[in-house]
Amino acid sequence: QPPRPCEDYWWEWKHCRGLRHAFHHYYAHGELPACGRWRDDYEACRSWERGRTAAAQEALCESERARVMERQKYAPVWTLRKSPPPDWYLPLDQDKPN
């Protein structure tokens, strides 16, 4: 069974090709989005469902791994705390002059 339903890859490909998404991506990144990967993943997913081919399975799994690694490449902006600060229950210093 593929990691996602094949319709998800089709929807992502259609979304990526949309004018609104292309404009936003160009504004944010300075280049048009590369949508071919979603189309290739959709075709590999369909091939995997139809014929259970090992090549399609490996291509789709490798693409999903690359997508997960790309998402994990960026560190979070904020450092996460393990516990709240020791004085979290005290009132804020709004009344004090600076």
Confidence of residue 95 (pLDDT cuts 50, 70, 90): low
CA 65 to chain centre: 12
Residue recorded with tokens 């069974």: 1
Residue 88 forms part of a structural domain: no
Residue 17 forms part of a structural domain: yes
**pLDDT score for 96:** 64
Residue 75 forms part of a structural domain: no
Residue 81 forms part of a structural domain: no
Q: For 16-45, how does the pLDDT look when each residue is reduced to its tens digit (9 = 90+)?
A: 999 999 999 999 989 999 999 999 999 999
Residue 77 forms part of a structural domain: no
Q: For 62-84, how does the pLDDT look when each residue is reduced to its tens digit (9 = 90+)?
A: 999 998 888 888 777 888 889 99
Nearest CA-CA partner of 42 in 71, 88, 5: 5
Domain that holds residue 58: 6-70
Mean pLDDT (the chain, rounded): 88
Are 25 and 33 a contacting pair, CB within 8 Å? yes
What's the rounded Cα separation, in Å, for the pair 93 and 44?
59
Residue 55 forms part of a structural domain: yes
Which tokens is 79 given?
Answer: 């450092």
Domain count, the chain: 1
Question: What is the per-residue DSSP string for 12-36?
Answer: HHHHHHSHHHHHHHHHHHSS----H
Residue 59 forms part of a structural domain: yes
Confidence of residue 15 (pLDDT cuts 50, 70, 90): very high
* pTM tops 0.85, yes or no: no
